[in-house]
Structure 1
Amino acid sequence: MVFDKNFATKRIGFIGAGKMAKAMIQGFLKSGVVANQIIASTRTVESKVRVEKEFGIAATTCNNEVASLSDVIFICVKPTNVQNACDDIVAGLTYQELQTKIVISAAAGVPRVLVSDWLQNLPTTFTMMPNLPVSVNEGAIALYGSKIKQHFLTEVTQLLSKLGKVYQVESEVELAYMVGIAGSAPAYYYAMVEAIEQAAKHYALTNVNVSEVVRQTTRGTLTLLAEQAFDASYLKDMVASSGGTTREALNVIEEQHIGDSLHDAMEAAVLKTMKQLSYHLSQSNKPKVATEPC
């Protein structure tokens, strides 16, 4: 299977329709992928109806159906459910049919080699780390896959580029690093904005919405950082003149070691992912539970 450049006729399937799957679906639809190219599976009939209503796509409670109807299959379930998802994919396809599919797991900490093994050593198996801004086509997406099938790696990169910037990493360890750097990172920013908004509420303004001021400041600050070829430290110093009010504020931030807290937060995310990698590798030799097709 070789994708046409615009992916105009290919079906994209999601096994699992949680927060990240929904963010990706939203991003694909914003990018121009039409709703009838997308199908997702959910655990219940109620969630199936909600997904169909929210996005206008097809949904099902049967993972086999997603596998059968899709050219690219995203596995977006909890790490502990990835093997069952793979078993469902295999159960719904012949070996020849399986070889025509591309499968991409978005479950943090589940090694690509295991996903491939669970899919009868399917060579077109990838693991990825998206982050929430994929919903607005501004995601930072780490992608890991075998370069033996380089053209498939190129095609998957082209598809995921609809959701943001794709970074091809060289190992599962690098993918784990990307969890701390980008996958979990939106929450760090949101936590900081939340804290600033809470602090700003102490300063009442008659005709101004303080939260709107904070968000506009955040938007402008991050846009400036993204669009200028300056280091964050340089931009910080542009705002903070010696002896000024911003320098006074930064003194408090530095005294309270907020930078150390962010470093520790990133390290915690990476270590959690590394532990998941070790755990899943340790469980890989245990017998599988048989899966019945829908």
Structure 2
Amino acid sequence: MSTPRIAFIGAGNMAASLIGGLRAQGVEASAIRASDHGAEQRTRISAEHGIETFASNAEAIQGSAVIVLAVKPQVMKAVCLELAEHLADGQLIVSIAAGITCASLEGWLSQAGQASPAIVRCMPNTPALLRQGVSGLYANARVSAEQRRQAEQLLGAVGLALWLDEERLIDAVTAVSGSGPAYFFLLIEAMTAAGEKLGLPRDIAARLTLQTALGAAHMATASDVDASELRRRVTSPAGTTEAAIKTFQAGGFEALVEQALNAAARRSAELAEQLGQ
């Protein structure tokens, strides 16, 4: 990355994952710094990645080209209001906080008479902690082509980074991939429990389920056809797989998934409205 310095405001798990990804890509420790009010967090992330840390957010952002807001949504307003008077022209703000819109960030970060800052809003998911994540990114009108590249490289350090043309689609990203890992965990739970009821020892049922999930994900990502075709190829007429698939569909599986994602998207929009006040 060509930026002279990247500052992380907040040094929690997601910040640590992003920093680790950047370091793995060859970004020097001297180009990264982080601030956190917790001394233990500062000590941990400094020891793990060799970066400079600060108790003061304002001090951390001085001279930084990219500022990553990695704090909880509930404290974002206070953090932004604190940072506003210390921002410099040309700095890129990258927010990875769920439910905080660009409009809210612009309002909190803009000083009277100053232009709104360049902001990229991101929705990563928890597999980013293993550098297997996926993020939806949206840039406001102030973000330059170079800053888009910087944001993409930042989130790309922990997985796939996909750009959105409309900010409202962040709610859909939240429903599909932001909350998505929990849906798969629920299926893993259910399959493990069902396997145990069929007579398998619980540890065997769990290992069978987990390896099947991993193998299916690898097949889907490596294939040049979509999931429906992959499903068709493994579903023999009148076979065991077809019996299970028909049972899923008779229970309204597809409609239930759609209802669940709609509920998640609605809740994402509601939280954005509540947190943006």
Report the TM range for the smaller structure's normalisation.
0.7 to 0.9
Q: Is residue 2:38 matched to residue 1:44?
A: yes
Q: 2:210 corresponds to which residue?
A: 215
Match of 1:230 in 2: 225
For residues 183-202 of structure 1, the C-alpha deviation after alignment (integer angstroms, 9 at most, x for no partner) is 11122122222332333345
Counting aligned pairs with the same residue, the percent is: 28
How far apart, CA to CA, are the structure 2 residues paired with 1:194 and 1:30? 33
Match of 1:178 in 2: 173
Which secondary structure does the structure 2 equivalent of 1:172 belong to? Answer: coil
TM-score, normalised to structure 1, is 0.80
- Are 1:268 and 2:270 matched, yes or no? no
| 1:248 corresponding residue in structure 2 | 243
Return the offset for 1:259: 3.0
In the TM superposition, residue 69 of structure 1 has moved relative to its aligned partner by 5.2
Give the counterpart of 1:13 among 3, 7, 16. 7
The residue aligned with 2:129 is: 135
How far apart, CA to CA, are the structure 2 residues paired with 1:263 and 1:22? 33
**In structure 2, how many angstroms separate the alpha carbons of the residues matched to 1:174 and 1:85?**
25
The amino acid across from 1:251 in the alignment is K
Q: For residues 58 and 209 of structure 1, do their structure 2 counterparts lie closer, same or farther at Cα, with a shift above 3 Å needed?
A: farther
C-alpha distance 192-35 of structure 1, shift in aligned 2 (>3 A)? farther
Select 1:102's aligned residue among 89, 92, 97: 92
2:193 counterpart residue number? 198
The CA distance in 2 between the partners of 1:20 and 1:191, in whole Å, is 23
The 8 Å contact of residues 20 and 131 in structure 1, kept in 2 or not, is answered as no
Q: Give the aligned CA root-mean-square deviation in angstroms.
A: 2.6
Structure 1 segments unaligned to the other structure (5+ residues) = 1-5, 284-294
Gaps of 5+ in 2: none
Q: TM-score, normalised by structure 2?
A: 0.85
Residue in structure 1 matched with residue 274 of structure 2 by the alignment: 279
Q: How far apart, in 1, do the equivalents of 2:31 and 2:129 lie?
A: 17
Q: Report SS of the residue matched to 2:120.
A: strand
- How many residue pairs match? The answer is 271
Q: Name the amino acid aligned to 1:29.
A: R
